Chains A and B, each alone.
Chain A
């Protein structure tokens, strides 16, 4: 589609001239179908680059709305989006249309769950992970391995970033590396330790590059290692090349535990109180004192022997030692899950 436009040649000339892409590569990019999961720091850079480079069909999924604290690094959004409380996916699609009217960007305002992930992933040539939590990444890993669709992991927190390209059957998947998500509530999130825009931009740029290699069909140059970088301490590392583990529960034994939801958190609306309870999908013990320290400065935090209460961004979270949290003032399960992963961590 994009190559039929006479101005397209000009538009993408710097890219087609690059030896790795060429005119045939650009044609494939134009026909490409990419799913971007998450539209925060990583997702906005990704959508921006995908749109500018002429990827023909982009779907972007995010459950959140634009907030002021996003603008520091989320490159597609503006103050007006935050003031109007526009859903991120919608704001991203609108910005994308202004940048390149010849590509299609479909916004999906939703939480990615075991119930919709296969449907979302199935129609994509590849999936870009731009989520903020490990639960969703394990879910994406399951869906992509099951359907044989490549996905590119990316994460940035503080001054650090990581990326991994997963080609089912060819490279290691997420569960080859770590069969279960690391104990959580212990992991740092952007809300608790912050994040530098540069770490976000570098990781997402690496992801975009991997996506373009896949779209043009150059598998030889794919990154087959876990990349790690720290922009503040000038540390850039590349691990050993990773191959699939035959013992991997996911790509080795084809057990899709996260798709079958045996290990994901559950949400219930609590009648009587405009509130949603998020329960972790597994036994977990939270150190409330520790969590209180991590949340210091994020909002108003108070603790009792039984619970921790956080008021932040107009929401009230009550967190208990067994990892459950009651999010008050909403009956929106997706929002509750989002606040949970932001403040408590998955």
Chain B
């Protein structure tokens, strides 16, 4: 089955379809601009550099970043998160995090704990929400270097209160790292207003760009130790990595092709408006949640109020294993969802859905009402048959 006739409800993994402008921009870049940015003065190098610089500025304006050079391009969300945590944390540092984290936060922290970083896991409620009093208590208990948390759960969509968390963290002298994998491009984010110190996000989900893109925002005054050293095109006379951002953290040629695609995606996103994306996704989620509640044998995880969640809905179909639901939806109905643990075993333990996981339905901006209805029809049919 080709991408055209699939009902794609796996936007939490990566958004699809991408706006056609993304492919066009990539073709245009590869055809006319594909020099190495910042490495020479010839026209192709300059053209490539312009694309990278323009994309950095475009991201900055979208996310309330005042100084675009504080946005570092990475290969994906995971690389941005690793750069933030490994770049910042030293043995003896204390980190407070939540039980809703994706493995891209949890695994680096487990590895850092082996190296002497003290990691405190705050248990979230069964709907994925975080009690700020728990955070406050944890921060009072001992001096803390970093609070690391997801902006919204990639399992059940629950939005965590990052603004309030930033305030608490700063009050106790800690920095805040936000994993915005599920929110960049779908929830308004302003790192300056919300005083976020580190914001990590992929370019290939809500931002509608191609895979191979992502970025880390590093607030002024926050210093990260580079994880790799190498060519930057600037200060070639130095044998040490230059200190200035983004070059300090951007050794080697960046993914210019992907960044060109991301640039086009950001233009489309801005023309649409984040508020419009948010409203559209909320309406899809409401339609979905309403329909799901009418199907006997379906349990929905996460908040039922669309204001408290993003468009990531996890369900269990009684009598069915999630993996079989996923395969049946794809095989018999051409509906693409993601069953299982969603790279977030801790979150599933929190929801009580470990180890089998759930079936995750994640519509996106271009999902239609009719597609939601078809998914509901399919789930209803499955619910009438034995797993």
Interface of A toward B, CB cutoff 8 Å? 270-273, 275, 277, 283, 304-307, 318, 320-322, 324, 326, 328
Contacts and interface: CB of A to CB of B under 8 A. Distances in A.
Contacts of A322: 330-331
A307 B324 contact: yes
Nearest to B324: A318
Given A271-B357, A272-B340, A272-B356, A306 B322 contact: no
Query: In the complex, which of the residues B324, B386, B387 has the most CB atoms of chain A within 10 Å of its own CB atom?
Result: B324
B45 interface: no
Interface in B316-330: 321-324, 327-328, 330
B331 A321 contact: yes
Interface residues of B, number: 23
B297 to A, nearest CB: 14
Contacts of B332: 305-306, 320-321
Given A271-B357, A273-B355, 8 more contacts: A272-B341, A273-B321, A273-B323, A304-B386, A306-B382, A318-B327, A322-B331, A326-B323
Contact of B355 (A272, A307, A321, A326): A272
B341 A307 contact: no
B111 interface: no
B227 interface: no
A306 B328 contact: yes
A103 B339 CA distance: 51
9 contacts: A272-B340, A273-B323, A273-B355, A275-B323, A306-B328, A306-B331, A318-B324, A324-B331, A326-B323
5 closest residue pairs by CB, A with B: A272-B340, A272-B357, A320-B331, A272-B341, A306-B328
B125 interface: no
B337 to A, nearest CB: 13
B343 interface: yes
Contacts of A328: 323
Contacts of A305: 332, 385
Contacts of A277: 323, 327
A344 to B, nearest CB: 13
B347 to A, nearest CB: 12
Nearest to B333: A306
B357 A326 contact: no
Contacts of A304: 385-387
A304 B322 CA distance: 16
Given A304-B385, A306-B332, A273 B357 contact: yes
Question: Most chain-B Cβ atoms within 10 A of its Cβ — which of A283, A306, A318, A328?
Answer: A306
Contact of A306 (B1, B321, B323, B385): B385
Nearest to B325: A306
Nearest to B385: A304
A75 B348 CA distance: 49
